[in-house]
Amino acid sequence: MKTRPSKSTLLPSFLVGCAALAVGACQRDGAAPAAVATPITSTSASTSSSPADLVARGEYLIRIAGCNDCHTAGYAEAQGKTDKSQWLTGSPLGYKGPWGTTYAANLRQTLAAMDEAQWLDYSAKLRTRPIMPDFAVRAMSVEDRRALYHFIKSLGPGGGPAPGYLPPGQPPPAPYFELMLPGPPPATAAVPAAAMPGT
Ligand code: HEC
C-alpha cells in the first residue's frame, strides 16, 4: 500500500494547472466551489486522489479506452463481460501486417516489473509496433496514467506471457487477423471530379 503524497508536493502542479487554464476554465460553467472538489472535474482533487480513487478511475479508463479489446482474450466476444481476474493478461490473437505479427502483451506482467515512476516514464514515451495505439497512451494525462498503474497493479501479475512477435515473412499460427493495407498511390492521376457521373 502506497502512502498518500504530501500536500506540499501536489500544490505546485495544481497551481500551474490552474494558471495555464485560467481561473475561469478551472471553474467553467460557473461551478460552485463544492463541485470543484469532485474527483473527475477538479485538477486539485485529481492530483490528490487516494489510491482507491485511482484504482476506480483506472478500471473505468481501461473499460472505456478499449484496452481489453486487444489485451484480454475473448473480451469482445463476451461483450465486455469477461471476469476482471482475466483482464489484461494478453492474447494469443495475432495481428499480421507489413510489420510482421504482433500480440497484445500481458500488461499485468509488464507492470509487475515497474514501480509507479518507471511506468510514468515508460508510458509517456511508449513506442510499440502496430496495432497497438501507443499514441493514445502517450496522450493520456499523468493522472490517467497513474490511474492505469494503480488499477493494473491491483489486479496482480496474472496469466502467462503473450506469444512472441514474429517478423515479416514468418507465417503465424491461427488465430490471427491479417491486415491488407493500401499500396502506394497509382502513378496516373485520378479521374477529375467533373468527369464523374452525376456531377
Ligand atoms: C487494437 C489492439 C490494441 C488496443 C486497443 C490496445 N493495445 Fe496495447 N498492445 C497491442 C499490441 C498488439 C501490443 C504489442 C505491440 C508490439 O509487439 O510491439 C500492445 C502493447 C502494449 C504495451 C507494451 C507492453 C509490453 O510489455 O511490450 C502497452 C503498455 C500497452 N499495449 C498498453 C495499452 C493500453 C493502456 C491500452 C488502452 C488504452 C491498449 N494497450 C490498447 C494491441 C492493443
- Please name the residues in contact with 185: beta carbons below 8 A apart, sequence gap of 6 or more: none
* CA of 199 relative to ligand 1 center, distance in Å: 45
Q: Is the pLDDT of residue 27 over 50?
A: no
pLDDT in tens, 106-140: 999 999 999 999 999 999 999 999 999 999 999 99
Q: Is the pLDDT of residue 101 over 60?
A: yes
Task: Check: CB of residue 90 under 8 Å from CB of residue 102.
Answer: no
DSSP states of the chain as a string? -PPPPPHHHHHHHHHHHHHHHHHHHHTGGG--HHHHTSTTT-HHHHHT--HHHHHHHHHHHHHHTTHHHHHBTTTTTTTT---GGGTTSB-S-EEEETTEEEE---HHHHHHT--HHHHHHHHHT----TTS-HHHHHTS-HHHHHHHHHHHHHH-S-S-PPPPPB-TTSPPPSSEEE-----SPPSSPPPPGGGSTT-
Residue 101, strand partner residues: 96, 166
Within 6 A (CB) of ligand 1 lie 65-67, 69-71, 95, 102-105, 107, 110, 126, 128-129, 131-133, 136-137, 148, 165
Task: Check: CB of residue 120 under 8 Å from CB of residue 146.
Answer: yes
The pLDDT assigned to 183 comes to 81
How confident is the model over 163-175, as a mean pLDDT? 98
How confident is the model over 6-29, as a mean pLDDT? 35
> Average pLDDT over the chain, rounded to whole?
80
Whose CA is closest to atom 36 on ligand 1? 67
* CA of 61 relative to ligand 1 center, distance in Å: 14
More confident: 92 or 35: 92
How sure is the predictor about 185, in pLDDT bands with cuts at 50, 70 and 90?
Answer: confident
How confident is the model over 88-100, as a mean pLDDT? 98
- Please name the residues in contact with 108: beta carbons below 8 A apart, sequence gap of 6 or more: 88, 89, 152, 155, 156, 157, 158, 159
How confident is the model over 64-91, as a mean pLDDT? 97
Whose CA is closest to atom 37 on ligand 1? 67
Whose CA is closest to atom 43 on ligand 1? 132
How sure is the predictor about 35, in pLDDT bands with cuts at 50, 70 and 90?
Answer: very low
| Domain chopping of the chain, boundaries | 16-48, 49-179
Q: What is the pTM of this model?
A: 0.76
Q: Which three cell numbers stand for residue 40?
A: 473527475
Task: Check: CB of residue 123 under 8 Å from CB of residue 140.
Answer: yes
Among the atoms of ligand 1, which is closest to the Cα of residue 136?
A: 38
